[in-house]
């Protein structure tokens, strides 16, 4: 990730980015903000920590105030991100380990977000079950244990270690004719859960995040997020109760592939030319994590930079945008793409999140007995 | 149907029926009520007419008052029933003809039920999409055209001949933890449709009705109906707006097969014995429609009847119930069964109802262009 | 089962059976043959043993010669049957226990059938994957571990404890236009497996067997078996290599429900009349296992029997057949039915058999690691 | 297409291409070959014609000899390509028009390929039905009319206007453990069709071809083609009968997006620098078809070119390959991607091809009655 952080930072310092970079992931936004600063300097208004263990990178980011929000382009709140680069290898041992870790971290997240242990929960599976890449939410709803009806119909028979959980897949605007937020608000008003957990498939900026990253946030679901068009917010303001969002990137805009490629080529050429001009004696692999510190400490004189830019044709943002469009038009009308193994990936990830949720929400449910609780 | 009507009547006159016969179909209830009366006599409080055309038997029954309701064991209201015995043959020509007929009749039904032509509609697909036999409602929702969002987002662009239609598949208690009625009421309160059309898979008394019968009623969905356990009503009383129910039998209780079989055997033995006793010279096929009148006009003397019953062991209702249980226990725990072709039947029937609804609700949609309106 | 055995025997002794009773299950055929004999007497040419453990009834039947074959109406060979009445309860603990037991027994079966431990295997999933009730074979193929290509492409990398396994779902005549046997024979000739394991969904005589019984036989698949129409045999004669058949009842003919019901009613009436005649002082529940011995030891005088039969109308086989047809016609054209939960049952049973097979065929695969071997 | 043709030609002339450009589509290969020649000059050994009508671009290419084969990197034979850029719009009217056009052209193709009108056909649906993007072949098999069994079982009842058609989905190596070619050869040897029609999902070089292009070829399926790994050929040489291949691009390698982007950026920079050097006064949009002629007629002096290349860093093929890898690694491990709407696209395209095939193969089947022939 540090390599990526560098890359994004690099492109920012050189001001090559044609678009304001938008990401649904606080983790990415934080990396970018770090990249815009001196090395070692933190982002004001943001508290972040991370650790890697067993192939799982866990990061907690709290955006504490409006300054942090501005810096990251995200709402103030708590963000938990799990990154598991190997998750697409379909290794069932790893999946189980991640499910357990997700369950533990999610339980901690609920605590930190101030959700009481016996709070009743409504799980909302956002997305369109007819489009596999957008079906993660409905898939999780299908496989998560629900218990609210037991509490309602035979409360005396519900054992210790469970809490009331209900779940709904409200569909999407195009198939229901109704805003998802209208449906969820109606259901919340009638069934009065204490908290909503909304699960959604996200569009990622980077193919390598697809089906390898899980983000949890206490800010809810806000306009513009997600694979489909879910235009109205699901948050404490609109629903009147806390909304915890679980988001997983499942698709990527083909444009970002082209966009990142162009940045790479330009960065490469700039380095090449710096070398030719004798100003940069050490052509660094921008993805080589070992070299990151060295690179960041390099002082590239301003005059060199502008010279380099002049030589590669001085692409201004408009030119760059046009170049990307030229590339993308023949590539196929700005398609949103997903890995061809999408069926298996959504199934694996959905099962992981569903099992993790069942374990996190009910103390009596563990990964060993979860399959006897749900079908 | 007259044969069946006879049979039900016969068993009633002889008072052999162990259970109060319950049916979701007004058509069946009316046949039974007719069977309890003199030939040619109508059922008080009930207005009924029927016609057969092109292999489709269409009947309109209006239960006008409490007396009719008591006689039929159904709520007062308007009931439309289409019976198409050949529908399971998967003849696509017939399916299209039935879809057109259903569309026409449903449009007429809306008129008779006092629903204005531009009334906004919420289609509710009841049932569990994970159980094919119970997935008819969700299937119809998936394939019916929705338009409400267009009226909301770009009203000026919606052409003539459409009305606002939204649709939802709320799931079932066991998968959501919430009563279907809670979800629907919440959605109705937020989105304010003028009328609800609820589509549901029903349990039939007779295998031959499965996937061959469509019932429309303006009484809504009431407790105890349906394949699954949908315990709360969806009707004008609970939702505050008219609820039109579309019900299609997709499963049958194995018990009814055994039950009907027993009635048949006893009726057969009675006839046999009557003959041996010289009292009944004309053993009739109880299903032979041509013989129905003759049979109904026969006077079987009371003394003969009791003698016959005594001879076959004088099964009283309790004995009969016990006999049925003896039969069913080894047969497999009172299973609900469905034809093994359930996947194809639900698909065909769901498409038929969805297309019929799209045509009936939007004047600009016809069977010729419906496939370009929905996917 | 003894109760059922009695019932079948009873009906045989009274010669009430209208049809030659056909069953795909050696277990049922053996029970019927026992019922035709004196108590305690075995069936000549048949060796049988059974035991019940943990809710699983395991029986091994070897039909040793032509006499045994005639008695049971089945080919000479080895038959293993597991009966698990509670399997439909969707208890994941029980499913796992049955998978382990099936794996152990199947391994033993292969040994008894003389299949070497390293014999290469072709698994054939018979049936139509578009019809859920008939999709058990294709489902098992999808979830069983295949390894033959690894042995072919990188033999040095295949570890100990595996054998070459390939798998195919050939489809059915109606969707391929080819006899399944033609396809399988072609594939066998090209890929030269040592043994074929054919998995098929069966039609059962009894609803209570549906999705609760697994039969393994070394006689292959023979004409007339199965849910669909699979008319040509798959056996050693046609394929040139041993064929082990795994069959699981998933559907039942509605006619057998009616048929069994009629037998019950008649048996009931006969007992009633015997009592009236003072000959039978102890009306027994024919399904009560505790009473079976007592019942079997009763001497019902022949004269009484014929008298009873005369009284209930002396149904001869033709009359009985007509009676059944009368019952079934209005019930719905001799439908084949399946429990409405067919989707879940096929999924559970298919997973159980697939996992059991993977464990039985590869020593290195266990129920604990099977999910990391297949997806 | 001309714009694309130019671009590919351009990159070839400048010899920037790091990889030998491989494409499954003769149409693309022909465009590239044209690009390497003088304007107006044809490719030796290749006969090509095309026409556009109603939004469908139809091209027929015959590679007549080894020289043509070398030029296009494709086997000698006949290639028919339909390109329908709007096909992804899910316009059912267009789909029907394309199905009709495909049927007509395919019938003509069979004639040109010397397949008799009554030749018996085996349709082979290649690919993995568990991976939606690879499931086109199995989908077509499921929806195409099969008749061979009718000819075999009741030849006298088959009416005029049909021919024997069988169909099989053999699965893929990873799920069967057998080479597809082994299975197909076995089936061909047993069932003796006159010709095989193999349907396969292809990997495209260009996103805009995905689900918009259909290629028919009489050269069969050859190693390296297709989405999955189908390593053995299916052609006249291996099967002994003609093999007609129908291929449809459904996925694209993310690497080609990056690759094309890099070519674009370099071409752009070169033009920019040429201008700075006063040699290129007219910076052309390389995708602007109107400018193609002008651009092609420009004489870029060799010395300028090398100078330009030197200035942009003189990327040699190795450097370019490394650059692409640098870009792709963080983007996600060389993923193969597919549009997120893959479920709907495969369904639409599969239905189109299946209906087109049914109509083309049977004179009595038309688009108006095809739905009554298949389910």
Radius of gyration of chain C (CA): 22
| Cα-based distances in Å from C266 to B311, B328, C116, C331, C334 | 13, 15, 51, 20, 22
- The number of residues in chain A equals 375
Reference A324, options A269, A255, A371; nearest CA is: A255
- Return the number of other C-beta atoms located less than 10 Å from residue B169's C-beta: 28
CA distance A173 to chain C (A): 29
pLDDT for C40 equals 84
Average pLDDT value for residue range A128-147: 95
Alpha-carbon distance of B243 to A120, in angstroms, equals 31
For residues A237 and A243, the answer to whether their CB atoms sit within 8 Å is no
Tell me how long chain C is: 375
Eight-state DSSP code of residue B81: E
Given a cut of 50, whether residue A302 has pLDDT beyond it is: no
Residue-level pLDDT at C300: 37
Tell me what pLDDT residue A114 has: 96
Any chain B CB within 8 A of the CB of D91? yes
Q: Is the pLDDT reported for residue D128 higher than 90?
A: yes
The model's confidence at residue C24, banded by pLDDT at 50, 70 and 90, is: confident
More confident position, C227 or C125: C125
Suggest the residue from C331, C345, C346, C347 to mutate for an interface test with chain B (most B CBs closer than 10 A).
Answer: C331
B166:A173 CB<8 A: no
Least Cα distance to D109 among D367, D366, D360 occurs for: D360
For the four alpha carbons of D138, D144, D145 and D151, in that order, the dihedral sign comes to negative
Q: In the predicted model, is pLDDT for residue B62 greater than 80?
A: yes
At residue D267, the 3 state secondary structure works out as: helix
CA distance C374 to chain A (A): 9
Q: Quick check: D182 and C191 CB within 8 A? A: yes
pLDDT bin (cut points 50, 70, 90) of residue C207 is confident
Contact D91 B372 (CB under 8 A): yes
Q: For residue C4, which residues of chain B lie inside 8 Å, CB to CB?
A: 330
Interface membership of B180 toward A (CB under 8 Å): no
Q: Distance between CA atoms of A147 and A198, rounded to whole angstroms?
A: 17
Task: Phi first, then psi: give them for residue A60, nearest 5 degrees.
Answer: -115, 125
Return mean pLDDT, chain A.
Answer: 79
Percentage of residues of chain A with pLDDT beyond 90: 52
User: How far apart are the two ends of chain C, measured CA to CA in Å?
Assistant: 37
Task: Please give the residue that has the higher pLDDT: either B189 or A2.
Answer: B189
DSSP designation for B113: T
Q: So what's the pLDDT on residue A323?
A: 64
pLDDT at residue A358 is higher than 90: yes
Q: CA of A371 to nearest chain C CA: how many angstroms apart? A: 7
B168 to A148: CB separation less than 8 angstroms, yes or no: no
High-pLDDT (> 70) share of chain D, %: 71
Whether chain D has a CB inside 8 Å of the CB on C229: the answer is no
pLDDT at D276 (0 to 100): 52
Q: How confident is the model at residue D324 (pLDDT cuts 50, 70, 90)?
A: low
Provide the b/e sequence for A33-62 (b: ≥16 CB within 10 Å). bbbeeeeeeebebbebeeeeeeebbbbbbb
Tell me: the pLDDT tens digits for B39-55?
888 999 999 999 999 89
With a cut of 50, say whether residue D311 has pLDDT above it: no
Q: What per-residue confidence (pLDDT) applies to A83?
A: 96
Q: Is the Cβ pair C173, D149 closer than 8 Å? A: yes
Per-residue pLDDT at B287: 32
Q: Which residues contact D110 (CB under 8 A, 6 or more apart)?
A: D119, D244, D360
Lowest mean pLDDT among A342-346, B36-40, B54-58: B36-40
Please count the residues of chain B. Answer: 375
Of the partner residues A148, A168, A188, the one whose CB lies closest to the CB of residue B171: A168
pLDDT at site A299: 36
Residue that is written with structure tokens 């169909």 in the block:
D167
**Is C148 a residue whose pLDDT tops 70?**
yes
Residue appearing with tokens 């060796």: C47
What mean pLDDT do residues D292-296 have?
A: 32
SS3 assignment, position B249: strand
CB contact under 8 A, A149 and B178: yes
Burial of A76 (0-12, 13-18, 19+ CB in 10 A): middle
Question: Residue B339 in 3-state DSSP?
Answer: strand
Across chain B, mean pLDDT equals: 79
Whether residue A93 and residue C372 make contact (CB cut-off 8 A), yes or no, is yes
Cα–Cα nearest to B124, from B76, B181, B192, B162: B181
CA of C143 to nearest chain A CA: how many angstroms apart?
13
Q: How many Å apart are CA A177 and CA B168, to the nearest integer?
A: 9
Tell whether C149 lies on the interface with D, counting CB pairs under 8 A.
yes
The yes-or-no verdict on residue D325 having pLDDT over 80 is no
- Residue where the block lists tokens 């204490």: A194
Contact: D331, A260; criterion CB under 8 Å: yes
Sign of the alpha-carbon torsion through B345, B347, B352, B353: positive
- pLDDT of the residue at B254: 76
Contact between B306 and B316 (Cβ < 8 Å):
no
Place of tokens 């308007």: B78
Looking at the predicted structure, is the pLDDT value of residue A320 above 80? no
Instruction: Give the residue carrying structure tokens 């129908």.
Output: D246
- pLDDT value, residue D54: 87
Q: Minimal CA–CA distance to B231: which of B89, B126, B359?
A: B126
Nearest CA-CA distance, residue D372 and chain B, Å: 5
The angle subtended at Cα C208 by Cα C204 and Cα C211, nearest 5°, is 70
Residue A44 in contact with residue A71, Cβ under 8 Å? yes
pLDDT at A312: 46
The pLDDT mean for chain D works out to 79
A39 pLDDT band, cuts 50/70/90, is confident
Residue C324 makes CB contacts below 8 A (sequence gap 6+) with C18, C255, C258, C259, C262
Global pTM? 0.84
Cβ A234 vs Cβ A180: under 8 Å: yes
CB contact under 8 A, B93 and D375: no
Q: Which whole number is the average pLDDT over C250-267?
A: 74
Confidence class for position C355, pLDDT limits 50, 70, 90: very high
pLDDT at C244 over 50: yes
Inspect the interface and report whether the beta carbons of D178 and C187 lie closer than 8 Å: yes
User: What is the model's pLDDT at position C294?
Assistant: 34
Report CA B233 to chain centroid distance, whole Å: 17
A vs C: CB pairs below 8 A: 12
- C374: contact with D, CB 8 A cutoff: no
**DSSP annotation of A207:** G
What is the predicted pLDDT for the residue at B21?
A: 46
- Of residues B238 and D90, the one with the higher pLDDT is B238
pLDDT-derived band at C319 (thresholds 50, 70, 90) equals low
Scan for tokens 């999409």, then name that residue. B129
pLDDT class for A147, splitting at 50, 70, 90?
Answer: very high
State both tokens at B78.
Answer: 């308007």
Q: Examine the pLDDT at A59 and tell me if it is beyond 60.
A: yes
């Amino acid at each position: 990730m540090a390599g990526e952080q560098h890359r994004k930072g690099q492109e920012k310092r050189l001001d090559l980015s044609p678009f304001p970079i938008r990401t649904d992931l606080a983790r990415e936004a934080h990396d970018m903000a770090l990249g815009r600063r001196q090395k070692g300097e933190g982002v004001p208004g943001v508290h972040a920590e991370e650790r890697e263990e067993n192939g799982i990178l866990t990061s907690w980011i709290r955006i504490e105030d409006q300054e942090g929000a501005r810096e990251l382009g995200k709402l103030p709140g708590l963000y938990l991100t799990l990154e598991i680069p190997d998750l697409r290898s379909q290794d069932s041992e790893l999946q189980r380990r991640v499910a357990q870790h997700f369950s533990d971290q999610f339980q901690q997240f609920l605590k930190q977000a101030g959700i009481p242990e016996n709070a009743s929960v409504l799980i909302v599976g956002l997305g369109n079950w007819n489009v596999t890449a957008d079906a993660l939410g409905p898939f999780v709803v299908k496989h998560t244990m629900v218990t609210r009806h037991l509490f309602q119909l035979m409360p005396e028979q519900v054992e210790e270690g469970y809490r009331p959980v209900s779940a709904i897949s409200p569909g999407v605007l195009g198939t229901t004719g109704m805003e998802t937020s209208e449906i969820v608000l109606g259901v919340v008003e009638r069934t009065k859960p204490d908290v909503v957990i909304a699960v959604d498939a996200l569009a990622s900026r980077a193919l390598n995040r697809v089906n390898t990253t899980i983000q949890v946030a206490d800010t809810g679901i806000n306009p513009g997020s997600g694979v489909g068009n879910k235009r109205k917010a699901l948050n404490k303001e609109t629903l009147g109760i806390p909304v915890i969002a679980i988001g997983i990137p499942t698709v990527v805009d083909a444009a970002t592939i082209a966009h990142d490629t162009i940045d790479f080529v330009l960065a490469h050429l700039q380095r090449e030319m710096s070398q030719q001009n004798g100003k940069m004696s050490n052509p660094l692999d921008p993805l080589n994590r070992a070299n990151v510190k060295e690179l960041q400490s390099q002082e590239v004189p301003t005059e060199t930079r502008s010279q380099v830019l002049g030589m590669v044709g001085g692409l201004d943002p408009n030119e760059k945008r046009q170049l990307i469009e030229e590339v993308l038009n023949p590539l196929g009308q700005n398609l949103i793409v997903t890995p061809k193994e999408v069926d298996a990936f959504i199934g694996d990830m959905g099962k992981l999140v569903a099992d993790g949720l069942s374990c996190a929400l009910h103390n009596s449910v563990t990964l060993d007995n979860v399959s006897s609780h749900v079908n």
